[in-house]
DNA sequence: AGCAGATCAAGAAAAAAGGTTGATGTAGTT
DNA sequence: AACTACATCAACCTTTTTTCTTGATCTGCT
């Protein structure tokens, strides 16, 4: 419960709405710090995702397993990103996704009920949550469009350009399944580009 | 869903109460077969333990992590044992324990509600669950007494005498934390005894 | 036929888990 | 004060698991 992680959250929030000291205080105390070990799950199918989690430190992968056993990565989250099974969280229905820590991590979690309360009692907090939702939605639109219109190599290039942090930090199999290609194929793409550089 | 695993369960139950064919049938169909991979959790803190699990094949470890990060094994379960966070299961409250597969395993799970139904509608099933609870309780009493009155080496010797299967099958760190000693110390005890034999 | 990409199989490489050993420390006996 | 019964720490080794790489073969387009 270092003050640090909460400060980080508040700084993040201030990017979107400006908070008075007491508001910042109120927002911060609604969250609880949790440490999560690598490979630990914070969301699992069949259990309702009761928290929204802000990543203070570490990395997470959100993925689904199809009935045929195929693994599809839907999202990554590192510092200053959020992790949740959004469908489970906002409807408070059982989750269908897994969210697993890729590294030892620290997160700040807010309970669903608590979040509703914050939003209900404060126009500003309402605004904040709207903004991050809209940005998230816009991001996904760009992503879907890009994926539909580009081949595997372009998707990889685009991703590693936009998120060099992620590209080097997440395991290759996870990135491949995020970009919609086999891990072998991604390995070849990377190799080819590495060779091209030298 | 091999008939095999259900037969195994029924045979186990018949050790305690004798079932007519239709009763056996009814009991068996209340359970669902689930395959669990090594290192997968079937119970985790904060999630309610909704099932009682009968181990058909494989091995599990039930443990707690203290706030200081210490790991304490409370139970092992192999073939024909049960695994659950009992406090979470019977009160249907969030669990405080972890239950993890030590090997690739097969279990038969019954839902809490389903179990209540079985017991309510059948005196015999009620008896069965009472018996296994009483035996479990008696076992824990013996264990607590023994632990209070014996030193580390005796505890190990007693355990490996009573459960030679477990002693050779579960990882040493898990056994050490079950027997209440450090893994290094258990390593030394084992070494000493091995040398004594030759 | 040629391309983008999948799948399979075999290994290599890297990381993690599990176990051992020696050194040192400590609380409670004798 | 020495002894017993352990713990803790650190270094190191071994084994297992995970992750990545590469070649070979296959498939569905265009």
Q: How confident is the model at residue A150 (pLDDT cuts 50, 70, 90)?
A: very high
pLDDT given for residue B20 in this prediction: 95
Looking at residues A50-77, what average pLDDT do you find?
92
Q: Is B41 on the interface with A (CB under 8 A)?
A: yes
Given a contact cutoff of 8 angstroms between Cβ atoms, the answer to whether B13 and B81 are in contact is no
The number of C-alpha atoms within 13 Å of A59 and in the hemisphere containing its C-beta is 14
- Section B110-116 average pLDDT: 97
The closest alpha carbon to A156, from A121, A133, A188, belongs to A188
pLDDT 10s digits, B21-66: 999 999 999 999 999 999 999 998 888 999 999 999 999 999 999 8
The answer for residues whose C-beta is within 8 angstroms of residue B115's C-beta and 6 or more apart is: B30, B52, B129
Secondary structure (3-state) at B98: strand
Average pLDDT, integer, range A2-6 = 76
What's the pLDDT at B130? 95
pLDDT attached to residue B197: 63
* Mean per-residue pLDDT over chain A, rounded: 93
CA of A11 to C1' of C10 (A): 50
Alpha carbon distance B195, B198 (integer Å):
6
User: Does residue B50 contact residue B112 with C-beta atoms inside 8 Å?
Assistant: yes
Higher-pLDDT residue of B195 and A72 is: A72
Q: Give the angle subtended at the CA of A4 by the CAs of A134 and A32, to the nearest 5°.
A: 65
Mean pLDDT of A137-161: 92
Q: Name the residue among B95, B84, B74 with its Cα closest to residue A47.
A: B95
Q: What is the pLDDT of residue B1?
A: 47
Q: How many other β-carbons are positioned within 10 Å of the β-carbon of residue B174? A: 19
Residues 126-165, chain B: which have Cβ under 7 A from strand D? 151-153
User: In the predicted model, what is the mean pLDDT of residues A19-47?
Assistant: 93
How do residues B72-100 score in pLDDT, each as one tens digit? 999 999 999 999 999 999 999 999 999 99
pLDDT band at residue A128 under the 50/70/90 scheme: very high
Take residue A186 and report the two structure tokens written for it: 């991604």
What fold, for B3-114? Jelly Rolls (2.60.120)
Q: Which residues of B touch A39 (CB under 8 A)?
A: 39
Structural fold of domain A3-112: Jelly Rolls (2.60.120)
Cβ A121 to strand D below 7 Å? no
Testing the interface with B: which of A36, A39, A43, A47 to mutate, by most B Cβ within 10 A?
A47
Residue A38, chain B, CB below 8 Å: the answer is no
Confidence of residue B3 (pLDDT cuts 50, 70, 90): low
Three-state secondary-structure class, residue B75: strand
**Mean pLDDT confidence for A39-62:** 94
Q: How far apart are CA A189 and CA A154, in angstroms?
A: 10
Interface of A with B in 59-98 (CB under 8 A): none
Q: CB of A172 under 7 A from strand D?
A: yes
Which residue in B112, B103, B101, B117 sits closest to B49, CA to CA? B112
Q: A1: pLDDT confidence band, cut at 50, 70 and 90?
A: very low
Confidence of residue A67 (pLDDT cuts 50, 70, 90): confident
Region A163-187: what's the mean pLDDT? 94
pLDDT, one tens digit per residue, over B39-49 is 999 998 888 99
pLDDT digits (tens, 9 = 90+) for B118-153: 999 999 999 999 999 999 998 998 998 899 899 999
Please provide residue B74's backbone torsions phi and psi, each rounded to the nearest 5 degrees.
-100, -30
Phi, psi of B32 (to 5 degrees): -125, 135
Mean pLDDT of the region A19-45: 94
Residue B130 CA from chain centroid, whole number: 17
Per-residue model confidence (pLDDT) at position A3: 56
The helices-and-strands tally (H runs, E runs) of chain A is: 9, 8
Cβ burial, residue B122 (10 Å; 0-12/13-18/19+): middle
Task: Taking residues A27-32, report their average pLDDT.
Answer: 97
A48 to chain B: closest CA residue: B47
Is the Cβ–Cβ distance between A12 and A80 less than 8 Å?
yes
| Model pLDDT, residue A105 | 93
Rounded Cα distance, A106 and A129, in Å? 21
Percent of chain A exceeding pLDDT 90 equals 83
Q: Give the residue extent of every domain in chain B.
A: 3-114
Q: What is the pLDDT of residue A121?
A: 95
**For chain B, percent of residues with pLDDT exceeding 70:** 97
Residues across chain A? 198
Contact B104, B38 (CB under 8 A): yes
């Amino acid at each position: 419960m270092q003050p640090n992680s909460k400060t980080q959250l508040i700084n993040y929030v201030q990017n979107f709405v400006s908070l008075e000291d007491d508001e910042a205080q109120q927002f911060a105390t609604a969250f609880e710090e949790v440490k999560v070990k690598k490979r630990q799950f914070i969301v699992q199918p069949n259990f309702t995702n009761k928290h929204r989690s802000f990543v203070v430190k570490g990395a997470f992968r959100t993925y689904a397993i199809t009935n045929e056993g195929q693994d599809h990565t839907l999202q990554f989250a590192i510092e200053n990103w959020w992790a949740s099974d959004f469908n489970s969280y906002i409807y408070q229905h059982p989750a269908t996704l897994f969210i697993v820590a890729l590294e030892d991590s620290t997160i700040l979690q807010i309970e669903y009920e608590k979040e509703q309360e914050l939003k209900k009692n404060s126009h500003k907090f309402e605004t904040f949550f709207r903004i991050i939702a809209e940005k998230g939605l816009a991001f996904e639109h760009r992503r879907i469009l890009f994926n539909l219109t580009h081949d595997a190599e372009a998707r990889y290039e685009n991703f590693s350009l936009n998120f060099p942090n992620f590209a080097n930090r997440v395991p290759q199999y996870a990135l491949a399944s995020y970009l919609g290609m086999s891990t072998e194929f991604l390995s070849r793409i990377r190799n080819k580009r590495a060779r091209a550089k030298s």
